[in-house]
Each structure stands twice: as structure tokens, then as C-alpha cells.
């Protein structure tokens, strides 16, 4: 069996999601220590949700996340959990973020990624810094 497949219980799956979300009004607030801490928090929450993060990029005005998930997790649940947790912790640790009424916009992008294009998406996310 291909190593890209994951097993959990009586299921075998290969479900990968690309998730993109932005701070409110696309403010460029994800820089420096905030970006570093955001990266740590994203990895913590993904591990807690049993999502394997294979690519992650924090840009000043948006976040790209590429994760392998289990079929029992709905994409909207993953996004809500990640955004809520990160917002709560970042706003507690960085008081200047409290000036914003909310850290994240309500909108986000989620796309399922097929096995064939997985490497293309990972490369695109990893190359975001160069743009």
C-alpha cells in the first residue's frame, strides 16, 4: 500500500486540505514575534486535532496551511478551531492585537487536494516568501 495513505480505526484515507485565511481587513500584523508564535500555535493545534501539517506559511497578511486530515473532521470545524485558538492566545500574549475588534475575517478558503497535485501545492506554499 502507498505510504501516503493513513489508517485510523477501520479506515484508510488520503484526505489533504489547503486552507487559507486572513487577518481582519487584510492587515499586515503577522510579522516578527507574532508570526513565530502563530506558527507554533498552528502546529500545536494541528497536532491536537490529529492533522498532519505538511506545509505551513505565515505571510504578513494571510496564512497558508496544507494538512492531511481524517474523514471525521469537517473542514469548517478545523478552521474554526484553529482560528479561535490562535486568536485567543495571540491576543492574550500581544496586547497591541487587542486594538482590532477581531483578529481574523469570517471568510476562509478550503480546497481538497488530490494525490497527483499534492507536491505542486506544497511547492507553491513553500515558495510564497519569494513573491
Beta bridge partners of 110: 19
Burial of 38 (0-12, 13-18, 19+ CB in 10 A): buried
Residue pair 121/55 in contact (Cβ under 8 Å)? The answer is yes
Domains, the chain: 6-130 (3.30.70.1290)
Residue pair 68/16 in contact (Cβ under 8 Å)? The answer is yes
pLDDT tens series, the chain, 131 aa:
345 777 777 888 888 899 999 999 989 999 999 999 999 999 999 999 988 888 899 999 999 999 988 888 899 999 999 999 999 999 999 999 999 899 999 999 999 887 556 777 778 788 877 66
Q: How many CB atoms lie within 10 A of CB 16?
A: 22
The CA distance from 4 to 18, in Å, is 16
pTM flag (> 0.85): no
Amino acid at each position: 500500500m502507498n505510504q501516503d495513505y493513513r489508517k485510523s480505526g477501520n479506515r484508510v484515507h488520503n484526505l489533504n486540505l489547503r486552507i487559507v485565511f486572513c487577518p481582519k481587513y487584510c492587515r499586515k500584523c503577522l510579522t516578527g514575534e507574532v508570526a513565530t508564535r502563530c506558527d507554533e500555535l498552528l502546529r500545536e493545534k494541528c497536532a491536537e486535532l490529529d492533522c498532519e501539517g505538511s506545509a505551513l506559511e505565515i505571510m504578513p497578511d494571510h496564512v497558508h496551511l496544507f494538512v492531511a486530515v481524517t474523514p471525521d473532521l469537517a473542514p469548517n470545524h478545523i478552521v474554526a478551531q484553529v482560528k479561535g485558538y490562535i486568536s485567543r492566545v495571540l491576543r492574550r500574549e500581544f496586547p497591541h492585537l487587542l486594538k482590532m475588534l477581531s483578529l481574523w475575517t469570517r471568510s476562509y478558503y478550503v480546497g481538497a487536494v488530490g494525490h497527483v497535485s499534492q507536491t505542486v501545492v506544497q511547492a507553491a506554499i513553500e515558495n510564497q516568501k519569494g513573491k
